[in-house]
Chain A
Amino acid sequence: MSLSITKVAIAATVSLLLFSSHAAFAGWKHIKVENNEVGKGGMTVLPLSEWNRWSKREAKRGESWTKNGFPLNRIDFFTQIEAGESIYKERSKKHQPLPKFQSDMLLPDLAELFKANFSIVNDATGFEVMKLEPAKLGSVPGLKVSYTYLNPNDPLTRLGEARMAVHDERLYVINYTAPELHYFDESISEARAIMDTVTLN
């Protein structure tokens, strides 16, 4: 009897460890060239090539992909952001509060909302909008922001391109970033294809 109790205790401990390790440690998932439900079903995305998804989410209904590692190329999806929510997950209301999406925002205001959210979360400076123009995210009219930014203690100039749209009163964002040197040009055409063909759910 005592042996079986010990076995049950060991089994329970092992399962608890396995379960908790799943939650505690982030990991990678292979993204195949097929329709992918992204951000807990907020978008449907068909990539042109294979990517890697990081299990840690930057937003409640978002996810992040890369090919060569986040410092080299990164595409972030943010879906179904309701009025009163920030684009990125707000990790500390007291020390790093993020500006929130408001239902009466004009399209240029969305670009500024993104600029502030991105700058705070990434501790970026020198965020400069190179082009802000009307564009569709999937089939929904919205806007495109092309920008450059700097990270502290980073010798590289980084470029980004984000598309945003409001659909059913909820904000959707796809953002691609990479160093200007080599990597931005390498994957921007695929990032744009994803932004063109995405379905907002």
Chain B
Amino acid sequence: MRYYGPILKFLGLIASLSSACVLPAYASDAPLTLPPFEHAYEPRDLDERGLWQKWDEYEKAFARSPVVYHEPDLVNYIKGVLCETVGPDRCGATRIYIVRDTNFNASMAPNGIMSVNTGLLLRVKNEAELASVLGHEFAHFEQRHSLNGFKKRRRGSDLVSWMTIAAGVSVAAGGSTGYQHHRDYRTSIYGDVYRYARDQERESDILSAQYLVLSPYSSGAAAHVWLRLLDEDAEQARERKRSRRRQWTGWADSHPSSFERADYLSRLADEANDEGVYRTSEYLEAIGPYLPEFFDDQLQRNDFSATKFLLEQIAQDGWTADLLFLQGELYRKRGNPRDLVTAATAYLNAIEAGYENANAWRGLGLSQMRSGTQAEGRQALKTYIRMAPDAPDASMMSLLIGEE
């Protein structure tokens, strides 16, 4: 938000002054209602039955997969947020699976499987933001987007196949432009399929905003998610010396750009002007116990600036002992001489703040030994071994401090 907030405000001003920017939303005086929901919906036609059958088979294996994070408390918490968002009757149709994946993503299958990546849980800051993403995924389910998208892609590929035959016949009959026309139409059809997918995403965003307006949560949270993703990308782009992503929607993009989504979602929130809650402390309390594990995967991505950004976002309301430890890990892994000093300080702060896990002493010892303060480093590693004699690396650390 630090980069894009002012730009978005400026664009919002332009949009409010321009009659061309009309959102298909709830600007009218009519009361906001959700589409009718059918309890215990069963697939109707052959295509839908086939899709459901495929996903039912997938779910049997997926539910047992080691990639799925089996933590009933966390699953129940996320399900609770979804139920508050879409209502208890609707949310009963879903099963939530938390997937160990550092990417920001969630997905919804036509039979009610909702997958939520740990990378998404790291990147949302409160229940309202989580609710906006869960609501978006649920909207895909409610609007039967998987089925409609499948039919759209099939129609497109059917058309391309028939046109290939027609172009062949045309050229065989002496036509000179058959293949050229074929290429042009094929490009146009593919573009139409991508456009259709983006429209489905927009439709889900808008329906999700409606869920939020009718829920206890603030619909203003939805735009915050995309703005923060843009800021995170800006941090990564600066470090990696690459251009920024997700600013503009491209021809072959399956989703609108983050910038576009932030723009129309913030305008929808302005129109709704609802007074919902964010529940930041409740969210941090619920995911707090899992943060170190989620971050461990993120710390392996060699993505210093983006990870630092994530950590600082979570720490906005205060650096807890857990967060200080993770800060130490982040700097130690980059390992420049100045980083090792910062890391050692972070570990010491974590210990002072009450971090009880022996790994803080491990990180402190390794940072100090590598930065030239061997005596202190050995002492810290001795404390680590004393606190965690059965640690997987205890023998290695004993060798390092010369006790083996």
Contacts and interface: CB of A to CB of B under 8 A. Distances in A.
- A and B: real partners? yes
Contact of A107 (B64, B100, B396, B404): B396
A199 interface: no
Contacts of B25: none
Interface string A85-104: 00000000111011100101
Contacts of B392: 129-132
B67 interface: yes
Contact of A105 (B242, B370, B395, B400): B370
Interface in B369-404: 369-370, 392-393, 395-397, 399-400, 404
Contacts of A104: 370
Contact of B66 (A107, A120, A126): A126
B301 interface: yes
A108 interface: yes
B60 to A, nearest CB: 10
A105 B335 contact: yes
18 contacts: A97-B302, A98-B302, A99-B302, A106-B370, A107-B399, A107-B400, A109-B366, A119-B300, A125-B102, A127-B300, A129-B393, A131-B393, A132-B392, A133-B393, A134-B404, A152-B101, A154-B67, A155-B61
Nearest to B399: A134
Contacts of B64: 155
A157 B335 contact: no
A60 interface: no
Interface in B174-198: none
A4 interface: no
A143 interface: yes
A112 interface: yes
Contacts of B396: 107-108, 132-134, 143
Contacts of B395: 133-134
Nearest to A132: B393
Contacts of B101: 125, 152
A120 B300 contact: yes
Interface of A: 93-95, 97-99, 102, 104-109, 111-112, 115-116, 119-120, 125-127, 129-134, 143, 150-157
Interface string B38-80: 0000000000000000000000010011110000000000000
Is the interface on chain B under 10, 10 to 19, 20 to 34, or 35 or more residues?
20 to 34
Contacts of A107: 396, 399-400
Given A130-B392, A155-B65, A106 B366 contact: yes
Contacts, number: 87
A120 B302 contact: yes
Contacts of B61: 155
Contacts of A95: 240, 242
Contacts of A119: 297, 300-301
Nearest to B397: A108
B65 A116 contact: no
Contacts of B99: 152
- Which 4 pairs of residues, A with B, have the shortest CB-CB distance? A132-B393, A94-B242, A119-B300, A125-B100
B300 A155 contact: no
B220 to A, nearest CB: 32
A108 B242 contact: no
B67 A150 contact: yes
A95 B392 CA distance: 33
B241 interface: yes
A99 B101 CA distance: 20
A188 B299 CA distance: 29
B144 interface: no
B333 interface: yes
A97 B333 CA distance: 14
Nearest to A158: B66
B393 A108 contact: yes
Contacts of B369: 106
Nearest to A141: B399
